[in-house]
Structure formats: structure tokens, C-alpha cells
Structure 1
Amino acid sequence: MKSEISPTLLTTVITGGWVLAAATPTALAQTQTWSVFSPMGHTQLTLRLADPGEATGQPTGLDRLYFRVEHGPDDHRATVIKESPLGLLLTGENLLDGLRFSRAGMPALVTERYTMPHGKRRNCVNYANRLEVFFVSQGGLELVVELRAAADGVALRYRVNGDLDTPVQLESESTGFALPGDARLWLAPSDTPTTYAPAYETYYENEIPVGTPSPTGRGWSFPVLFRTADSAHWGLITEANLDRNSFGARLAGEPTDGVYRIRFPEPEEGLGTGDLKPTFRLPWTSPWRVILLGDTPEDIVESTLVNDLSEPSRVADTSWIKPGRVAWSWWSDQPSPRDGAKQKQFVDLAAEMGWEYILVDANWTIMDNGNIHDVIRHAKEKGVGVLLWYNSGGPHNEVTEKPRGTMANRATRRFEFDLLKQWGVKGVKVDFFQSDKQNVIQLYQDILQDA
């Protein structure tokens, strides 16, 4: 493995050879390239601005952005993501074709230590190299592509800067992932919207060839696991730091030439509520497009890169957040949350096993053989915390299970949370969001903020 190095600006590439100088905006015919390496040099993310030319059926003279990813030590290095497209189209603004290089920021080392109250490990280290490259669109907007490379993967995201008085809409995102043709993938077909879907409950298609179409015709859900043909390199494609200004992404179901492109949610999701395409004001930052990398599947499982890339918690005091094991009756007896006596039995089970919580699932508001207050009192006597189920609907689902109608409205939601705090309830499970559109992503975050 290489000794530690800083991220490096690769040189401008001109037909016929390398020019040993930093990339500068010169003739349209030349290709401009920038790379960032992980601190130990094991991963490499390369960004390229180039004229697609007639070979791809695109007009000449309209430069586009591409990226590729390499992984492994010098003696066993492989391209795990081939040259893949980047770019955005906003309402009235083209950030795909005809981009001009403006400048590149100084390479920087990211070093951060943080703790997590739950998850893979308590003490985490975010150690990576980053590089920002600035471009200008034909309409005058600034597009910044931020690159990040760590030992366990790479990531990139967009920032759009400009002086626009009105909100803009994302019409399309051209980000794609060109996998090696002989790679094998583990892919979950995206759901066809129904009363209870999308719910990320479809089974994965295991070790399928690149180019296999999604059986649902709705694309492939994140995350996507892949390996190279020799099983020497493993990767997982996903996203990180999704906020209220974007949507939950997936990949197109029928890749073109092995390129899996970002795809919007389905129009029917959430009973058709919410705009399909996200709207936001500038400046805007996209979620990270993330590729975890490793020599084995274990490396993928152990990675904390998604957490590393996400914003730190805004909760200053996290001492009240206490993860724990849960006794959950619905799993084996779906009507049981309506039976107070059965819930007390599961409280006793949790106490006997030393588990921290009981989860009382759907329809606890119409309980027989006692009520929820009896269960809460019994749990308190046994030293077991109580978690309660809630329906997130709202107009975005037609699921009738109760309690319903308290989570989709801020005033009723905050009233309900205050009530639960008075009762001594420790937490909630909120269910049936049924959509990855921006309005439902915002609902997720509103619920978390109010909690």
C-alpha cells in the first residue's frame, strides 16, 4: 500500500500526451482531469471535463463532466467504476452541457473523531481527502463538484451557487455508475406503488449480471452491492446526507451500456401527493453519491462512510437517546397490540430477558383487556421502557391502522409528543411513509426535529 499522500490535481490532458501543469480553461478540444486519493492511496476518484464528441451522439464543443473510481494497492489496482456521467438540469438552467472550468480549490485533509450512541462502533474516525472543483454554466451559474476519498470508499456531490430570486426545480440528474461488464450485483427491485408500498421489502436479486433489467420496471433501490469478476474488489452504491431539499434516489432499471443512472421516485408514490421533482432555492447542495469500497464483503459491512459524510447531529445532549433490545408481539401475532393482557406478557418477557423495551404496534388505541395506560404502568413496575407505533398518514397513505392523523401535521404532532412525554413513553415507531418524494423526506425530518 502507498505511503500517505495528499489529494493531487492531475494535469490537463491534451491529445498526444500529458501537460505537466494544473488544469486551466483553454481550448475546447482538450480534456481536463482532477483526482483525489485516499490518505493511504488505496482509493482514487477522478473527475474529467471533456467534449463528448460525435462518438456519443452529443454536439461537439459542449463539455460534460465524467468520473471514474479505482481501488486497490499499486500491484492490484482496478477500475471499479468506469467513466460515468455527471451533471444536472434545473428549470431554465443547464448544468450538464457546455460547462467551463473556473478553478480548483486547495486539496484538504479531513480529520474528525465522533461518537455514536448506536450502530457499528461507538468511536468513529472520519479520515479522508477532499477536493472542490468549480465550473460555470452557459447561463452563469456556478457548479461545484466536491470529491471525497477515504480508505473505505469515495463520494461526490454537487453544489449550485447563483443569484436567482425564485425557487428552481431539479429536472434531471445525470449521475450514473458504469460498472465493469463482468461484475456481479446484488440488487433490490424498486416497489410498484400499492397501499403498502414502496416499503423496501422486495427481495434482492443475487449475483446478477450487469445490465439485467428490473423485474418491476421501476428501477433498483439503494443500496446496490457489487463485486468484480475476480472477487478482489467489493463496492456498495448508496447516498448520504439526504436533506429536505432533495428526494430519495434509486437507480434506473434498464442500464444503458452498463451505466446505472439516478432515477426519480414514481409519480404514484404517496397516493400521488407531492411533486415528483424537488424544488429548492440557491445555494443548493445535493446528497452525496457514495461508493463504499473494500477487498472483502466484511470491509463493506464495517464501513462508517455514510455516517462520516453526513452532517453531525444537531442534538447537543444525546444522553436521553438509549438504544436497546425490544420485545415486539406483532412479529408473531399481528392482532396482539389490541390485547392489553398479551402486551403485559411481552412486558414480562422483556423483563425476564433483560431487554430494555417493549414495542406496542398498530391499533393500541383500540385495546381490549385493559388500555395502554395499564401496559405503561406494568412496564414501569418491571423496569421496561415503552415504545408506541404510529401511522405517518396523512394524505400520502391510505393505511387505516391507528393511531392515524397525528404525525403529518406539526401542531398535532407536537401535542402528541408532549402527551407521550407525560405518559413516560420512551419513543415512537412511525410507519407507512410510502414515498421517496421531497414532501415525504421533509416529513421524516420534521418528525425527527419535533421529537
Structure 2
Amino acid sequence: MKTVYIFLFALLMACNTVDNDQVNLVATSPNGKLRVELQLNKEGEPYYRTLYNNKVIVDTSYLGFEFTNAPKLKGGLKHLGSEVNAFNETWEMPWGEQRTVENNYKFIKANFEESEAPNRKVTIEFRVYNDGIGLRYEFPKQDGWIEALIKEEHTEFNLTEDYKTFWIPGDWDIYEHLYSTTKLSEIDAKSYIPKTHLAQSHISENSVNTPVTMVGKEGIHLSFHEASLIDYSGMTLKVDTENLILKSSLVGSENTDYKVKKSLPFTTPWRTIQITDNAPDLIASNLIVNLNEPNKLGDVSWFKPMKYTGVWWEMHLGKSSWDYGMEMVDGKWTDTGKAHGKHGATTENVKSFIDFSAKNNIGGVLVEGWNTGWERWIGFEDREGVFDFVTSYPDYDLDEVTRYAKEKGVGIIMHHETSAATQTYEKQQDTAYALMQKYGMHAVKSGYVGKIIPKGEYHHGQYMVNQYNNAAIKAAKYQVAINAHEPIKDTGLRRTYPNIISREGLRGQEFNAWSGDGGNPPEHLPIVAFTRMLAGPIDFTPGIFNIKFNEYRKDNQVNTTLAQQLALYVVIYSPVQMAADLVEHYEANPKPLQFIKDVGVDWEETKVLNGEVGDYVTIARKERATNHWFVGGITDENARTLEVTFDFLDTDQTYEARIYKDGEDAHWDKNPLDIVIEQVDLNKDSKLKIKLAPGGGFAISLKKK
């Protein structure tokens, strides 16, 4: 991996002033459009402002901390000195949306100290990019202060407009909510409480989870999030609807009176604002990954981005089950001859997925429900000790399955459902990862369904942030990559630990199969692309061909057209993409299946061609291994015609394009399977007008002739 460092300029100000009116530190983005000002008021309180194109978008916003073992740290500060500097590097993604990333910013790093005892010190750092800003705090080693018990972090974002906002509530346990679209002043997160049917939901105040995206009247786009979340609590944003102020609100615990416990010295995660002139540039932004530390794992070529099938969707449909039908006898799961016959993870069934994957350029097979313990995995308080991550059910021959998969050139993706029983998983991790290493398995999908054990902890608090991150760091020692479900949100750690490959963290495809609220509406994914996806890769599990699965669940369906299901392989990014439907549904539809066979998962570069938050988006991606291009476009419940230009293609080159688009009468509900497939020649000067049906989309594969 090649990295080039270019230091543009440095200005050191070693001042020891008590006259806080003189403290006015400024950093501008490399293109000069974005400006951050950091100041102290007369009471010694630090605050900042952010300007974009000379317009104030974040007005006077104060910074500070509240502790349980020390006085609050907010005012009475004096400025010790600062560095205003610039940095530029180019780094390479081992896998990702693009191969190379420019990390170019200017920064302020200001040192402050209390004017009176106990004279605590804090450093505030801003990094200013062309596409946004990052803010974090650093607490250096200092006499008399060994440990910080943080009750609350007080970081403000004082907005100057009542933005159109796309948000989900600041739930401490799940992100699996539908997005609301309201003015900032109309956010009411607590209105979600009677709606949610997920037991682990916990909404304690009128706050929103991040990323939260906003659109201004004059076209400015903002998205608030955080980066490099390590050994800290996840941040929600409390909404002051009257004054249009967002305030950091950390996820807590019922077991302590503090929300974060840290030994000095330490730095906080970055608090981020992506700032662009338009919606497509939000997706193109690399702010979140750039604010993370470089790769600490070195060579991770043992992980290969892949498409995969698996024993998953059939269980959500009710065709099969995760559990085998064993009973607990003398503390052990025992086959008492009462198996119900619906178990999905059988040797025979998994082999059928292996055969299908081998024939269709699909690299992996996920096997859920292979291991003992599913009979009592949810709804029970005593979930510790239930799951065994190395012992398979009697009808699943691990040796035979892995042998057969290797013979066919297909990898097996392991599954670890922890049932949120963290101590059980911790105790078995080394053994479980070693088993994977023995069989040459390099990826695991982990799950954390249910209330966290120990009781009183939440999925997004410091305790669980460490659980998720430590599991990934340990897995890397066994050459195992992690795809976490019921996770902590993505904050760009895939740069530092590239074995963190994907995660859930949203209302996924399964809600279409079993939720009682109609599933995910057509607007869901056109919002997700500009909110959740800004954080990082999504394991959304696209590719459902049997849109209305009346034979299994007559009151449920997928609320898109078939063409949109194909488009999602390009639009919703992940280095692992599931062909989620049943084998028989793919075999009955070989023509649209061709796109899944062809589409890439690892990209040389990405172009966001058009889009509006919540309405539509079109993305083009160039595959690393082949230089083939793939284009995907999706829309909400509204039909629309999009013009696609192909100026990203090579000059003087003709491409064979295969287009998969909605038929003339397609509709997400009335006629979702109406699809037209056509083949044309295109070049750099070509333009196409494509009609998208309500809830529809299109997908295009482009190969050089």
C-alpha cells in the first residue's frame, strides 16, 4: 500500500494569553469553500462556527464535558497554543468503493488549560476537508487526573436553517426503524415508541441516531455522524426543536452513573459533518474513512470480496427453521428423536446452495442454524451458555460440507448468533475462530439479537462498542472477516481494521418477510443511500425474485420491482453481496439471474451520476478485476424518467451494454415482475433515457467489445 505525504504549510502559535478575545483560530478547506473558526468567549468557554461559501451554517456552538468524578469542563479555559497546519496523502483501499483515496485537509489543533485549579488540560482539533469537517477532543496525560468518568459530552451544532431532515430515533439498542422526513423543528423521536414491535428498542429522549441527513432550501446538504468509534459510547444527537440545535447525547448504561470510562491520555471519536452542494456528493464523500487511522492489520488478501447465497431467506419465509428440535438434557443439547423435520441447515440443503453458487459465479454460501442452541436462543433470560459455536446439529456434517465446498471452489461463510449473551461468545471466540481457520473459512456473519447480557447494557453503549471491536480484532488473528448484524454503527473502522467488511444496522430485507407494518416502503432505500450508507458498507441481502411470496406469507411482499432488486447490487454498497432468494426462484428466472452472475463486488472507482435524498439515485461502479462497468438506479414510489450519460467510459471504446429495466406496466405492487432486458452498444458520448416504474429501477452491465 503506497502512501504519499505532502505537508503544505505550518503555523505554530505558542501564546499564553488570558485575553480570550484574541483567540480566533481559523482553518479553511483546501478548495477555500469551507471555513471553521474556533474561539473562546470572555468566560473561557470554547465555541466554533462553520461557514460554507461565506454563509454561516453552524453558528456559535459550545463545547464541553460533564463528569461524575470531577467538575464539568466547559468554561474558565485559557489558550496555551495552537497548530494550524495542512496534510495531504493518498492511500489505497484493500477493497472498497474505489482503489485510491485522497486524504486532504487543513486543521486546527488548539491546547487549552483551566485558569484555576485543578488546571486540567484539553486539546480541541478540527480537520477541514472539501466535503466536511471532523471535530474531536484529546485529553493528554496530566498530573492529578488519571481517569475520566464522562457523564455527558456537550458538543453542539447550532444550525441556521430549519432543514428538511431524514432521521430515525436515537434508539440505544437498534437502528431498525423506518426513516421519517420532517423539518428539523418537527422531529419527535418519542413518537416511535408505540410503533416499534422490536423488544430491544430503547428510546430515552427526543434524539436521533446518526447518520442524520438534511437538505436546505438553497441546496446545501448536511449529514451528521461520527468516525473512529473506539472504546467510547455511541453518540446520538438530542434535538432542540425550538432553537434548531443538535447536542451530543451519549448512550448510557443502567449499571453506572457515567456513560464513558476512560484512562488518560485518550482521544474521543470524531464528530463529523459532511457538507456538499448536492446529494450525489454526499455518497462520493470519503470523510468518514479518512478520519480513521491507517491499516493496522497489514496484508488482508486472505479476504476476497464475494457474492454469496445461503440458508437464510427460506427461514424468514417459514419454509424451514433455524432449530433442529433438540432438548436440553443434563445441561447439554441432546437429540431425543423429536426433530420437527423443518431444519434448514442440513448437509443436503447446503450442498444444493453450493452447487448453485458454483454454477453462477457466486463465491460463498452462508449457513445459519448449523450449530446447537437455537431452541432457546430468544425469549429466555438464561441465554448465557446456550449457543455452542463449534458443535453442529446431527443433520449437518461440517467435514463433508466444507470438503464439498472446497471441491466446488465455493467458500463457506460461518454464522455466529450470540443472542447478545456476550460472555458466552467471549469465552468461545478463540475456539470458534480456530475452527474456521482449520476449515479455511474467512468470513463470519455475527448476530446480537435480544437484550444485552449483562442486563442493563445497551447495544450502542461503551460496553458493546468494545465487544464488537474486540471481536473483530481477535478474528483478524485467525484471518477471519466480520459481517456484524444487530451491530454498533459503522464509523469507518474498515480503514484501520479491513477485516470489518460489512454490517447490518438498518431495517433490512427481512422486514419485508415478517414485519406486521407492511415491510419497507418504496422510499426506504432511496433514503438509506443518503443516510445509513454514508457510514459504510451495508449487508442488505438483495436479489429477491419472488416478490410476492404468497405460498409462504400471503400478507407480505417485497415493495420493489424485480429490476430494482438487480439495481441494488450496484446502489447499496458492500464487499459481500447476497443473492438472497431461494435457488428454485433463480433457476426459474435465468435471464435476470445473468446480472447477478456478472455484477462485481470490488470496485476500482465509483461515480454517483444523479440523485435526490429520498427520491432516486443512480450509481456507476468499475470492477477492479475486469474493468467492467455496472450501473444501478432506483426510485421511490414515484415513476420517473432519468437520463444517464456515460462520459465515465474510456475514450474511443465501444461497450456492449445489457440493460435490465422496468417494463411498460411495471409497478412495485401491481406488476413487480415486469422486466425488459435488451442489449445495445454504448460509448463515452452515449446518453440513455430510462423510465423507472413506481418502486422500480434499472441495472446495466457494460463490457468492452
Both proteins in one fold, TM over 0.5: yes
Deviation (angstroms), 1:382? 1.6
* Mapping for residues 431-450 of structure 1, pairs under 5 Å: 431-432=447-448, 435-450=459-474
User: How far is the alpha carbon of 1:7 from its aligned partner?
Assistant: 8.4
Secondary structure in 2 aligned to 1:95? coil
* 1:65 matched to 2:46: yes
Cα distance in 2 for partners of 1:221, 1:36 equals 28
- Aligned Cα root-mean-square deviation (Å): 2.7
Provide the TM-score with structure 1 as the length reference. 0.81
Mapped to 2, the partners of 1:26 and 1:190 lie a distance apart of 39
Q: Secondary structure at the match of 1:113?
A: strand
Q: 1:353 to 1:82 in 2, by over 3 A?
A: farther
Contact 2:227 2:271 (8 Å CA) reproduced: yes
Is the CA contact (8 Å cut-off) linking 2:113 and 2:121 kept in structure 1?
yes
Structure 2 portions without partners, runs of 5+: 1-7, 193-202, 323-343, 373-391, 453-457, 476-705
Shift of 1:340: 3.2
Distance (Å, rounded) in 1 between the aligned partners of 2:95 and 2:181 = 29
2:425 to 407, 416, 431: 407
Paired residues for 1:1-400 under 5 Å: 25-27=17-19, 30=21, 32-51=23-42, 62-72=43-53, 77-90=54-67, 91-105=69-83, 107-137=84-114, 138=116, 139-161=118-140, 162-164=142-144, 166-191=146-171, 198-214=173-189, 215-216=191-192, 217-218=203-204, 219-231=207-219, 233-244=220-231, 246-255=232-241, 257-267=243-253, 272=254, 277-334=259-316, 335=321, 337-365=344-372, 367=393, 369-393=395-419, 395=421
Contact (CA 8 Å) 1:184, 1:210: kept in 2 or not? Answer: no
Larger-Rg structure: 2
* Residue in 2 that maps onto 1:428: 444
The CA distance in 2 between the partners of 1:383 and 1:450, in whole Å, is 27
Q: Which amino acid aligns with 2:244?
A: G
Q: Distance in 2 between matches of 1:393 and 1:273?
A: 20
Q: Tell me the TM-score normalized by structure 2.
A: 0.53
Q: 1:430 to 1:176 in 2, by over 3 A?
A: same
Q: CA offsets, 1:140-196, max 9 Å, x none?
A: 1111111111111111110112224642211211102122233111111133x6xxx
* Distance verdict in 2 for CA 1:345–1:156, change over 3 Å: same
> Do the aligned residues in 1 keep the contact of 2:363 with 2:410 (CA within 8 Å)?
yes
Check the 8 A contact 2:170/2:209 in 1, yes or no.
yes
| Structure 1 residues 352 and 71: alpha-carbon distance in aligned structure 2, compared to 1, 3 A threshold | farther
- The letter for the 2-side match of 1:291 is I
Shift of 1:406: 4.9
Q: How much does 1:125 deviate?
A: 1.1
* Superposition deviation, residue 378 in structure 1: 2.4
What SS does the aligned partner of 2:358 have?
helix
Report how far residue 108 of structure 1 moved.
1.8
Shift of 1:6: 6.2
Provide Cα deviations, 1:238-265, integer angstroms capped at 9, x if missing partner.
Answer: 1111112x11111115545111111121
Whole-Å Cα distance in 2 between the matches of residues 323 and 380 of structure 1? 17
Opposite residue 307 of structure 2, the aligned amino acid is R
> 1:273/1:449 Cα in 2 relative to 1: closer, same or farther (>3 Å)?
farther
Q: Secondary structure at the match of 1:200?
A: coil
Counterpart contact for 1:189–1:203, Cα < 8 Å: no
Name the CA shift for 1:204/1:440 in 2 (closer, same or farther; >3 Å): same
- Is the partner of 2:283 in helix, strand or coil? helix
Aligned CA distance change for structure 1 residues 176 and 24 (closer, same or farther; 3 Å): same
Superposed displacement of residue 341, structure 1: 2.7
Cα distance change, pair 209–172 in 1 and its aligned pair in 2 (3 A): closer
Opposite residue 49 of structure 2, the aligned amino acid is: R
Aligned residues: 400
Q: Note the C-alpha offset of 1:100.
A: 1.2
Distance 1:203 1:276 in 2: 30
For 1:226, give the aligned amino acid: M
